Amino acid sequence: MKPELNPPVAARETAPEISGVLLIDKPAGMTSHDVVAAVRRILHIRQVGHFGTLDPFATGVLPLSIGKATRFAQFYLKSRKAYQGTIRFGVSTDTYDATGEKTSPPADCHPSAGDIERVFREFTGRIRQTPPPFSAKRVKGVRAYELARRHEPVKLEPVEVEIYALELQKLEGPEARFAVECSGGTYVRSLAHDVGGKLGCPAHLSSLRRTAVAEFKEDRATGLDELQRMAKEGRAAHVLIPLEALLPECPALVVRGREETGVRHGQAFELAQAQRADRGLRPGQAGHTPALALLKVLNAERRLIAVARHVAGNVYHPDLVLV
Range in 73-82, 85-94, 218-227, 265-274 with the lowest mean pLDDT: 265-274
With b meaning 16 or more CB within 10 Å and e meaning fewer, what string describes 155-166? ebeeeebbbeeb
Comparing C-alpha atoms, which of 214, 208, 180, 244 is closest to residue 63? 214
- The average confidence (pLDDT) of the chain is 87
pLDDT at 2: 35
Ranges assigned E (strand) in 80-157 = 81-89, 125-129, 138-139, 142-143
Return the minimum-mean-pLDDT range out of 176-190, 219-233, 287-301: 287-301
* Topology of the domain covering 252-278+291-321: 2.30.130
pLDDT of residue 16: 55
User: What length does the chain have?
Assistant: 323
For residues 185 and 161, the answer to whether their CB atoms sit within 8 Å is yes
Query: So what's the pLDDT on residue 170?
Result: 98
Asked whether residue 103 carries a pLDDT value surpassing 80, the answer given is yes
Report d(CA 283, CA 267) in Å as an integer. Answer: 28
pLDDT band, residue 1 (cuts 50/70/90): very low
Average the pLDDT over each of 134-148, 256-270, 303-317 and give the range with the smallest value.
134-148
CATH topology of domain 9-78+215-245: Pseudouridine synthase (3.30.2350)
The DSSP-derived string for 186-240 is: --HHHHHHHHHHHHTS-EEEEEEEEEEETTEEGGG-B-HHHHHHHHHTT-GGGGP
Lowest mean pLDDT, pick from 9-18, 46-55, 239-248: 9-18
Domain ranges for the chain: 9-78+215-245, 81-213, 252-278+291-321
Alpha-carbon distance of 83 to 75, in angstroms, equals 20
pLDDT of amino acid 157? 85
pLDDT, position 143: 79
Is the confidence at residue 6, as pLDDT, over 70? no
pLDDT at 278 over 80: no
Query: Which CATH code, of 3.40.190.10, 3.40.50.20, 1.20.120.1750, 3.30.2350.10, is assigned to 81-213?
Result: 3.30.2350.10
Residue 69's pLDDT is 95
Cα distance between residue 133 and residue 94, in whole Å: 8
Lowest mean pLDDT segment, chosen from 13-22, 66-75, 268-277 = 268-277
Do 9-78+215-245 and 81-213 show the same overall fold?
yes
Contact between 84 and 178 under an 8 Å Cβ cutoff? The reply is yes
pLDDT at 226 over 80: yes
Which string of b and e fits 271-310 if b means at least 16 CB within 10 Å? beeeebeeeeeeeeeeeeeebbebbbbbbeeeebbbbbeb
Closest alpha carbon to 222 in 240, 249, 206, 234: 240
Give the pLDDT of residue 139: 72
Cα angle 26-27-29, degrees, rounded to a multiple of 5: 120
The whole-angstrom separation of Cα 48 and Cα 51 is: 10
The share of the chain scoring above pLDDT 70, in percent, equals 88
83, pLDDT greater than 90: yes
pLDDT mean over 255-268: 94
Tell me the mean pLDDT in the region 312-321: 92
Alpha helices by DSSP H, 55-112? none
Burial letters for 77-101: b for 16+ Cβ neighbours within 10 Å, e otherwise? eebebbbbbbbbbbbbbbbbbbbbe
pTM for the predicted model, two decimal places: 0.85
Q: Which residue has the higher pLDDT, 144 or 117?
A: 117
pLDDT of residue 177: 98
Q: Which residues pair with 295 in a beta bridge?
A: 308
Q: What pLDDT is attached to residue 10?
A: 39
Q: What is the DSSP letter of 73?
A: G
Q: What are the catalytic residues? A: 55
Q: Identify the DSSP state of 75.
A: G
